Chains A and B, each alone.
Chain A
Amino acid sequence: MTVAELPANGLPVELADILPEPGREAEAPPRGLAIICYSGDLEKTWAALILASTAGAMAMPTKVFVTFWGLQTFVKDSKRITGENWMQKMLALMQRPGVSHRKLSKMNFLGMGPWMMRTLAKQYQVASPKELLEAAQALGVEFIPCQMTMDMFGLKREDLIDGMGEPVGAATYLSFVGEGAAPLFI
């Protein structure tokens, strides 16, 4: 039996509010979500990836523009040192790149804070940033690196995780917002 054939009186009350009228699509399709992932901090990365994966699950066209410290999150976990000159290498050394190596902005305590967060997350079955990132990609969320940040940190495409979009600039983000996508800066 398809959905349209279901008797209206046999449905739970909530469904009547949700179901579009027969033959009509749900009103106003979602116009999308445009996230700027600017921070590389664990807590903000987590929030950005929760929203990105959920938006993907809700079939909203979703793009995550990854810039500045956020780009460190999207370097492969296996990369330790990135960059071409000593300053770029030094920055990577001081802040280990990769989605699994994020630090808390406060109460990091040499990794004790993130360790406790990860332990609690496991205990309460909260998905890790890495799981959320993979789920978001599987649901069609686009992660797009910022060209300027890649140049400044000396990052190459092969340093970044698989499935990232073409590097772009701010104008691409703003044009997506101009099309009606909700902007978020995290």
Chain B
Amino acid sequence: MRDALVDARGLSCPMPIVKTAQAVKTLASGQRIEVWATDPGSVKDFAAWSKATGNPIVEQSVDGGVFRFVLARK
């Protein structure tokens, strides 16, 4: 259940956040975006981004070094 996907695997800081922010701009309120990242810093970075922008993290998980986030546009 997602409206957009950002595959940021392999990308370094700050591109996972930057690409996500760009993709979120194309969504309507309540729509969801899934992000895949391998940057270990992204766990804290996405929490900070969510807090600053008010777009909540709906789900998050890690599988084999890939961090997966589902975010909603507020």
Contacts and interface: CB of A to CB of B under 8 A. Distances in A.
A15 B58 contact: yes
A58 B52 contact: yes
A126 B52 CA distance: 23
A53 B17 CA distance: 9
Contacts of A135: 15, 18-19, 22
B14 A18 contact: no
Interface residues of A, number: 30
Contact of A12 (B52, B59, B72): B59
B57 A54 contact: no
Contact of A126 (B12, B54, B74): B12
Given A18-B47, A125-B10, A12 B57 contact: yes
Chain B contact-residue range equals 20 to 34
A3 B14 contact: no
A56 B21 contact: yes
A15 B30 contact: no
A20 B11 CA distance: 30
Nearest to A59: B53
Given A59-B53, A125-B10, A138 B58 contact: no
Given A14-B47, A18-B51, A139-B22, A124 B14 contact: no
A124 B12 CA distance: 7
A53 B20 CA distance: 12
Contacts of B59: 12
B57 A2 contact: no
Contacts of B15: 125, 127, 135
A45 to B, nearest CB: 15
Contact of B52 (A6, A30, A53, A127): A30
10 contacts: A3-B30, A18-B47, A20-B54, A53-B18, A57-B49, A58-B48, A59-B52, A124-B12, A126-B12, A139-B18
Per CB-CB distance, the 8 closest pairs between chain A and chain B, nearest first, are A57-B21, A2-B30, A26-B54, A54-B14, A58-B52, A126-B12, A3-B72, A57-B17
